[in-house]
Amino acid sequence: MKIGEKIKKLRIAKLMTQSELVGSEITRNMLSRIENGSANPSLETVRYIAERLNVSPSFLLADEEDELIYLKHREISQIKQAFMTEDFRICRDMCLNSKSTEDDEIQMILSECNLYVAAEEFNGGNLKGACSYLDEALESCGRTLYRTDLIVATVGIYFRYMRRFSATLSSNVIDEGEVNIYPALTEEFCRYAYALEQLDRKEPIGAIESIARKETPYALHLEAKLWMQEGQYGQAYECLHKILLNDFPVAEPMLYFVFCDLEICCREIQDFKGAYEYSIDKVELFQKLLT
């Protein structure tokens, strides 16, 4: 793109008239000739116009390839700032609207943002929304040359956990059952979700401390599950009830399974009123999660 075309494009994008751009330093006629390519601006004029357009002179003088590099450099600093301040939804929108959207680095950041937004939707109980963002994260992973093992493994864990609710909550991009989830086991939720799978298979999961800190909802739920396997429903009930009283936030999907286990424990210890109340809580939350 020639310098005159570039100046005109920027001026129009900034909703500036020729008169507003020229100010007092150059004439409107001269700017018109520069924009239509019949005159070349001096270096001093380039500097003046660049200042008025709030871009660098080098951007106006750069060829198309250099222009893309400049645009990415300008965008990536803003994208990284949004990411570092954990404004993941804003950062995601910035990546999607970037002129360098196919760039490897931007696609990697986009995949991270989609994963964080998916986790927010999951914790808030919007499972269908979480599925959509998780698949978007996978698609971004497929468009970058950066290593994405951790992201793919984490996405796989979330999908495997959500299949506990419904087979419809699955990925349209991967078969979550075939994902290598081990890179994700550095994350507390992922260790918890994998431990539940081990318990389902009656496999040893080791000490609770190796999965999550004591007195966190994750550790308490796993401890309760172990007590239930041993038929100690009173002890399991105490652990589960602590989760409801705990100050730590509890993801709504996890809360559903806590209600399920509380209903079982109450029934086993013959607290039928409690079992009924938790069954109602369970049904109401289940309907919300799948809405």
Q: Decide if 20 contacts 14 (C-beta within 8 A).
A: no
Whole-number pLDDT of residue 15: 86
Q: What are the b/e assignments for 8-26, b being 16+ CB within 10 Å?
A: bebbeeeeeeeeebbeeeb
- Of 49-53, 87-91, 229-233, minimum mean pLDDT range: 49-53
- DSSP for 35-68, written as a single string: HTTSS---HHHHHHHHHHHTS-HHHHHS-HHHHH
CA distance 62 to 50: 12
Q: What is the DSSP letter of 165?
A: T
Whole-number pLDDT of residue 77: 81
- Return the number of other C-beta atoms located less than 10 Å from residue 30's C-beta: 15
pLDDT band with cut points at 50, 70 and 90 for residue 69: low
* pTM confidence score: 0.75
Percent with pLDDT over 70 in the chain: 92
Helix axes 64-84, 88-96, angle to 10 degrees: 170
Spatial CB neighbours of 28, under 8 Å, sequence gap ≥ 6: 18, 19, 22
Spatial CB neighbours of 225, under 8 Å, sequence gap ≥ 6: 196, 199, 236, 261
Whole-number pLDDT of residue 67: 55
Percent with pLDDT over 90 in the chain: 60
Each residue's pLDDT tens digit, 142-174: 999 999 999 999 999 999 999 999 989 999 999
Q: Is the dihedral of CA 113, 117, 118, 123 positive or negative?
A: positive
Judged against a pLDDT cut of 80, whether residue 40 lies above it is answered with yes
pLDDT band with cut points at 50, 70 and 90 for residue 212: very low
pLDDT band with cut points at 50, 70 and 90 for residue 68: low
Each residue's pLDDT tens digit, 42-52: 888 988 998 88
Averaged over 175-200, what is the pLDDT? 92
For all residues of the chain together, what is the average pLDDT? 89
